[in-house]
Amino acid sequence: MSTTFQLDASTSRATPTPQPRKRLTVPKIRAHKQSGETKEPLVMLTAYTARQAQLLDAHCDMLLVGDSLGQVIYGLPSTLPVTTEMMIAHGAAVVRGSYHALVIVDMPFGSYEGSKEQAFDTASRIMAETGCAAVKLEGGEAMAETIAFLSSRGIPVMAHVGLTPQAVNVLGGYGARGRSQHEHDKIIADGQAVEQAGAFAVVAEGVVEPIAVSLTRTLEIPVIGIGASAQCDGQVLVTEDMLGMFERVPRFVKRYENLAEVISSAAETYATEVRARNFPTSDQTYQPKD
Longest CA–CA separation in the chain, Å? 82
Indicate the helix (H) or strand (E) that contains 104.
strand 102-106
- Label residue 89 exposed, middle or buried (CB < 10 Å: 0-12, 13-18, 19+): middle
Annotated binding residue 136 = yes
Indicate the helix (H) or strand (E) that contains 205.
strand 201-205
CA-CA-CA-CA torsion sign (75, 78, 82, 86): positive
Inter-CA distances, 232 with 51, 65, 142, 210, 236, Å: 29, 21, 23, 11, 11
| Catalytic residue check, 205 | yes
Annotated binding residue 68 = yes
List 141, 205, 257, 268, catalytic entry: 205
Annotated binding residue 67 = yes
Measured between alpha carbons, how far is 141 from 182 in angstroms, rounded to an integer?
14
Which positions are annotated as active-site residues? Answer: 205
Which residues define the annotated binding site for 3-methyl-2-oxobutanoate?
A: 67-68, 106, 136
Residue ranges of the binding site for Mg(2+): 67, 106, 138
Task: Mark the binding-site residues, compressed into ranges.
Answer: 67-68, 106, 136, 138
